[in-house]
Structure 1
């Protein structure tokens, strides 16, 4: 084997030191091993099986965390460092992202199409459109209610009514979920329509003022208080959807608009 071939072979070998203890296996160590193997590296795996062994390794190499990856004579570093070394993107936990909302609306749309098909054998119905908005309202409420305290804190940054009456910031997700559930059933429209119309209108006005008049850069509480979704079009859309749904169902109840399969 030539010197070049030997060098190339050595360069495709990686040494991985990671925690594999009886009570804890480091997930980033598992991810690092998988990433190396998928990238064509032969991995020499060195499990650190005790706390003393782990601390001794950190002290020896002057590092504060594991896993640690070595390729050739170079210490690459931890999992994020490995991703950078391989030319792959590293997620920034503080970066703004519309991904949570895109996934949510995508799945609720598919749920509505599936439910419509199960009921009518046709996915593309007025009922599917109604269910899409109703399902979205319920799922959005669920995400807010995972940590209602965190949601309320973020909501108070921009909602006009919540700033004047703090309990509204806690009531809002329950009201949204309640209205969405009633709209799915098609029952008690006299209650769900005013609730959706009220919270949707207050929300839309609040978002429009904060973003488009005051030009404030805030995070949206629409998918919960821990999200990095920027306040703006998405939150405005959420509120406009509730307003549209409320108006549509009110018109359908009086026979002024076509309705879905469920009673109005």
Structure 2
């Protein structure tokens, strides 16, 4: 089955899997990309496994979709992007994008919560919530796959190397401290927990990156991330330490007068 699409522009033929229980997502992406580049797309469906296998054998390819432009086989979705001069992400490349996205969302969450409670985004509490929300979300990402996190964490954390169970305890402790700090309760528990794990983490990262000069992946956003160990992970731990100290000062009535307002 095929459905011609558009009657102008350079002609492209797209072969993709469209079955009752599976429609190839990369086929949909390839069709969208071709359309966006003003190609006249001849969209040809491979509707059965036998039809798909026969197509692969005929063209000596391992995967679908396959794109042909003016009769020349270009290849799959990534090959099409390269052919059109588009960037193709390297799954093994290191990137700070996950961390930037996380902190951007938690900052907006904190500002939104401040507006909901106080009517303005610019409050002291918004700053506290930003750090606490960040801790909770970072813990959530680690807890998606504790085994992967612990394996990566053991590469550099000084305490975990001596006591392996700490690599499993860490994300639960971070999440607990963050949630308690969001609520502003049980400061006697959240402060020492955050201060302890933050201090051990900061010392561990500093030693691994700036003393030993090791190039490692950071476990800060989970065990499957490609975020390089360094400034970001050090910042995570320093934020926990700063929050713990700030809340401890508040508990003892040592914060400046402006900090008691909104």
- What TM-score, normalized by structure 2, do the two folds share? 0.95
The residue that corresponds to 1:157 in the other structure is 155
Superposition CA RMSD, Å: 1.3
The residue that corresponds to 1:120 in the other structure is 118
Q: In structure 2, which of residues 141, 144, 148 is the aligned counterpart of residue 143 of structure 1?
A: 141
The residue that corresponds to 2:12 in the other structure is 14
1:37-69 C-alpha deviation (Å, 9 max, x unpaired): 011001001100001100111111111110000
The residue that corresponds to 1:199 in the other structure is 197
Q: 1:43 to 1:185 in 2, by over 3 A?
A: same
Structure 1: stretches of 5+ with no match in the other structure = 1-8
Q: Is the 8 A contact 1:10 1:72 kept in 2?
A: no
Deviation at 1:11, TM superposition (A): 6.5
1:145-173 C-alpha deviation (Å, 9 max, x unpaired): 00001100000000000000000000000
Q: 1:169 to 1:16 in 2, by over 3 A?
A: same
The residue correspondences of 1:195-234 to structure 2 (distance < 5 A) are: 195-234=193-232
Q: In structure 1, which of residues 161, 166, 169 is the aligned counterpart of residue 167 of structure 2?
A: 169
The residue correspondences of 1:245-256 to structure 2 (distance < 5 A) are: 245-256=243-254
- Residue 195 of structure 1: SS of its match in structure 2? helix
- Residue 20 of structure 1: SS of its match in structure 2? strand
User: How far apart in 2 are the matches of 1:90 and 1:260?
Assistant: 50
The alignment covers a number of residue pairs equal to: 254
| Segment of structure 1 superposing worse, 252-261 or 38-47 | 252-261
- What TM-score, normalized by structure 1, do the two folds share? 0.94
Q: Is the 8 A contact 1:196 1:242 kept in 2?
A: yes
